[in-house]
Structure 1
Amino acid sequence: MALVELRGVSKSFRKGDETITPLDNVDLDIESGEFVSLMGPSGTGKSTLLNLVSGIDRVDAGSIVVAGTEVTKLSRSKLADWRAANLGYIFQTHNLIPVLTAYENVELPTLLLKLSSTQRRQRVELALEAVGLSDRADHYPRQLSGGQEQRVGIARAIVAHPKVVVADEPTGSLDTETSEQVQVLLQRLNKELDITLLMVTHDAEAAGIASRQLVLDRGRFLERDSHSGVSRKIQHAN
């Protein structure tokens, strides 16, 4: 069984008199330890997919199973508990709390778990070490560069040891040099810590660091060959 399974997933929105269907009866498998990137034009449903996998949004039809739990059947209250223990989210604009230090921002997800203060401290220290910011633990966001803020956001996403980390344009607000540094970091975390990553990006270079590249086109997934650039429809056995 794949770590993440989408079966027959559809999602539509109303925009004025028009119905937009970014996801149309799609299937997708993501194996444990995979790094999957997702590209496609704006408005094609890439962020919608992340929100469905993380339980922030609900499907219209179909099922999503993550680490053996059918997310689509969980109540709102159970979803919050499940998300805290199983899912990390990396935002494009960091979303750090300005009045909290780097350490305190990273610690936030652990407060929702049944951990002792010692266990929380160990996890936060390990997460900051993993992103190379142990020496910035007491700094506030205003005292950090954009790249350092994003690394704090990444540490916050991995601190609870989630089953899956989803990243929505994690390099979108960074300059070229800093973007490349974050790409290297994500690739290293995937390989060294065996973190399963699903990343949305508009950047073909960023997408290329993933072990598998997908394109969302007219509500369906295409798999992209990183060498030829050719995309083909994903096929699933019945």
Structure 2
Amino acid sequence: MPLVTVSNVTKEYTSGEETIRPLDGVSLSIEEGDYASLMGASGSGKSTLLNLIAGIDRVTSGEIFVAGTDITKLSRGKLADWRAANIGYVFQTHNLIPVLTAYENVELPLLLLPLSAAERRKRVEIALEAVDLTSRASHYPRQMSGGQEQRVGIARAIVSNPTVIVADEPTGSLDDETTEQILQLLTRVNSELGMTLLMVTHDADAGARAKRQIRLERGRLVENGKVTSTANLRTA
């Protein structure tokens, strides 16, 4: 059984008398341990799909199962609890809290989980070591480079050992050299830690780093140049 199953999902917004449909009957599956990239032009629906899988937004119709849980049926409160336990999010602009150290930023998601202080400390130390930032644990975001900030963001995403890591344009604000470093780190997170990773990107070179690539056009999946309603992403 796939780790993530998206079944005939449509998302609509209403603006005045106009109905906007960023996703139109999308279905796909993602296997545990996969690394998939979602690509497409601005407005193609890729970030919308990412946020639906992450439980940040709600579908208009259709179902999304993650590790056997139909997240479209969860109440707002239960969805927030599910998201804290199952989703690690890597943002484009880091989204670090400036008054917190790197250590404290990474620890933040763990405060929502029933963990002891000792267990939180152990997990944070492991996450910072994984992104090679142990020496920066006491530094504030203003004392770090953009690449270091993004590595803190990745450590924060993996610290709770989530079911799925979602990354929305994680290299969009970085220079070429730092982009390469972050893409290598994301590959390590997948290959060495075995974490399932779903990355949105408009960069074809970045998308090619994933094991599987999928493109969206006008809210629909495109495979081999043809619009289709389904996509099956499986580990090679």
Same fold (TM over 0.5): yes
Distance 2:102 2:158 in 1: 14
**8 A Cα contact 1:221 1:234, kept in partner:** yes
The AA in structure 1 aligned to 2:30 is I
Deviation at 1:127, TM superposition (A): 0.4
Measured against aligned partners, the alpha-carbon deviations of 1:4-62 in whole angstroms (never above 9, x if no partner) come to 00001000122444322111111110000000001111011111111111111110000
For residue 88 of structure 1, what is the aligned residue in structure 2? Answer: 88
Amino acid at match of 1:134: T
Report the equivalent of 1:181. 181
Match of 2:139, SS state, is coil
Match of 1:103 in 2: 103
SS of equivalent residue, structure 2 residue 42? coil
Amino acid at match of 2:82: W
| Contact 2:91 2:168 survives alignment (8 Å) | yes
Task: State the match for 1:227 in structure 2.
Answer: none
Q: Which residue of 1 aligns with 2:211?
A: 211
Q: How many corresponding residue pairs?
A: 232
Q: Deviations over 1:128-163 (max 9, x none)?
A: 011110110000000000000000000000100000
CA separation in 1, counterparts of 2:193 and 2:209? 16
Q: Distance in 2 between matches of 1:9 and 1:66?
A: 14
Instruction: Provide the C-alpha distance between the structure 1 equivalents of 2:69 and 2:30, rounded to a whole number of angstroms.
Output: 14
Q: Which runs of 5+ in 2 are unaligned?
A: none
Match of 2:131 in 1: 131
Q: CA deviation at 1:231?
A: 6.3
Q: TM-score, normalised by structure 1?
A: 0.94
> Which residue of structure 1 aligns with residue 48 of structure 2?
48
Task: Identify the residue that residue 115 of structure 1 maps to in structure 2.
Answer: 115
Equivalent residue for 1:162? 162
Provide the rounded CA distance (Å) in 1 between the counterparts of 2:100 and 2:142: 10
Task: Name the CA distance, whole Å, in 1 between partners of 2:101 and 2:226.
Answer: 44
| Distance in 2 (alpha carbons) for counterparts of 1:89 and 1:168 | 8
**Is 1:141 the counterpart of 2:141 in the alignment?**
yes
2:18 is matched with 18
Q: Which residue of 2 aligns with 1:222?
A: 222
Residue 52 of structure 1 aligns to which amino acid in structure 2?
L
Secondary structure of 1:138 counterpart: coil
Change (3 A) 1:131 1:231: farther
> Where in structure 1 are there 5+ consecutive unaligned residues?
225-229
Identity across aligned pairs (percent)? 67
SS of 2:47's equivalent in the other structure is: helix
How far is the alpha carbon of 1:93 from its aligned partner? 0.2
Aligned-partner Cα distance in 2 for 1:80–1:232: 33
Distance 1:217 1:15 in 2: 21
Runs of 4 or more above 3 Å deviation: 230-237
- Measured against aligned partners, the alpha-carbon deviations of 1:80-106 in whole angstroms (never above 9, x if no partner) come to 111111000000000000000000000
Matching residue's letter, 2:31: E
